[in-house]
Structure 1
């Protein structure tokens, strides 16, 4: 399956959502059981393991050394090549949602980068205006009405949900990921993980400054999923109580 180390999810979340700590703590202070997180008593210790131990003593030092000692052109090349292998499942998942234009863009990216780009070493497609827009099978399920299911904090893999885990499993059966041998696949996952953790370094303050990093990450995770599900244009949801108050104000006016 397409390996996504926990900090890969965190980086995507922080880059797209950028929630404030205030919104996180206000929900915590409401002191109610989050229906999205029935496994919180298990998830919180796993978050502590991921952030305070696995990251502090393994992932962060490794990524820091990788960024410091590996020349940027080599890092960029191997990272592009590793991500290029995700384009085929993006093509299929777009077709399953009848997103033919996006499927065409992903096909163009894969063909250009796999040929002119030397097996993906160079992201030629980006310079041709074809930007990477990864589409996972979990998003396909969401499009057809499958709910997220319980929030999961996976050891090493990080924030997820039942739907996302099923989606990642299916994505791993698409060509060429399904035919890559064990050790080359480990190397691919390691490259993506180290590069992603290196990019996360600039975002760490958002987590460190939040009063409850676990709640911060959980809320941001679900916002990110909603963002991706609607291709960057999530619907605006108005709280019913707020809407009623607004109607009353308009009537008084």
Structure 2
């Protein structure tokens, strides 16, 4: 049962989150003149990337042709739908912070429909009626506000990011309207479902991820290229880019 989420995301907490974000992106590393990518931490990034790939191989059997599905496809889809639905209130808030009320209204309507008719978001009737998600995050909010992208980063477990997007992840976690909305033990079930959704995504996009991590001459460079181009596409920075989920090699 939902509780009032407002106390856990009050003004003091939100203010602290904005200060943390400012501190994080204030020192964003600048790209060297003539460099194709802003990646001054490449040596450390590659080490983290190698550790992530080793973990993926050990836990998920990444790169193995006989890899078995981790869960039935309907379960994977339901977990992904549930997790996506939980992210809608945060998307609504970020759209408002970006001065974009239209997607905020659509996402709010989508959240309401999927939470009720869609049994808590396990099903996705909103998409069936043409009410599509317009996902966003605080990293995009910072972009709209003029914050620089900063250096490319690879995070343990979480994978590729940038300094600006890392700041956005921190703020998104703190200002999420659903933080504190679930009592115990429901909040642990929700956390487990969100982790399960990440596992489900590894299964749903397994072929694309394997192509990047195990079938590339330099999986780090390939991952960096795909992440940055896709992120720029999401932010509207570059018009002539591709969606890596559609074409893992961008050709």
With normalisation by structure 1, the TM-score equals 0.71
State the alpha-carbon separation in 1 of the partners of residues 84 and 61 from structure 2.
21
Contact kept in structure 1, 2:76 and 2:201, CA below 8 Å: no
Q: How does 1:65-144 map to 2 (within 5 A)?
A: 67=69, 70-144=71-145
**Counterpart residue number, 2:224:** 218
**Counterpart residue number, 1:159:** 160
Q: How does 1:195-234 map to 2 (within 5 A)?
A: 195-203=200-208, 204-230=210-236, 234=238
**Which of the two has greater helix per residue?**
1
**Counterpart residue number, 1:21:** none
**Counterpart residue number, 2:47:** 45
How far is 1:97 from its partner?
1.4
- Give per-residue Cα distances to partners, 1:184-210, cap 9 Å, x unaligned: 343123211111100222212244333
- Give per-residue Cα distances to partners, 1:161-214, cap 9 Å, x unaligned: 111111111111212145456633431232111111002222122443332111
- Give per-residue Cα distances to partners, 1:195-249, cap 9 Å, x unaligned: 110022221224433321111111221111111112xx73469xxxxxxxxxxxx
1:120–1:193 Cα change, 3 Å: same
Unpaired runs of 5+ residues, structure 2, are 1-33, 242-251
How far is 1:34 from its partner?
5.5
Q: Which has the higher contact order (CA 8 A, sep 6+)?
A: 1
State the alpha-carbon separation in 2 of the partners of residues 159 and 121 from structure 1.
28
With normalisation by structure 2, the TM-score equals 0.71
Counting matched residue pairs gives 199
Q: Which moved more, 1:199-208 or 1:180-189?
A: 180-189
1:35–1:131 Cα change, 3 Å: closer
Contact kept in structure 2, 1:97 and 1:143, CA below 8 Å: yes
Unpaired runs of 5+ residues, structure 1, are 1-31, 238-253
1:40–1:178 Cα change, 3 Å: farther
Q: C-alpha root-mean-square deviation of aligned residues, in Å?
A: 2.3
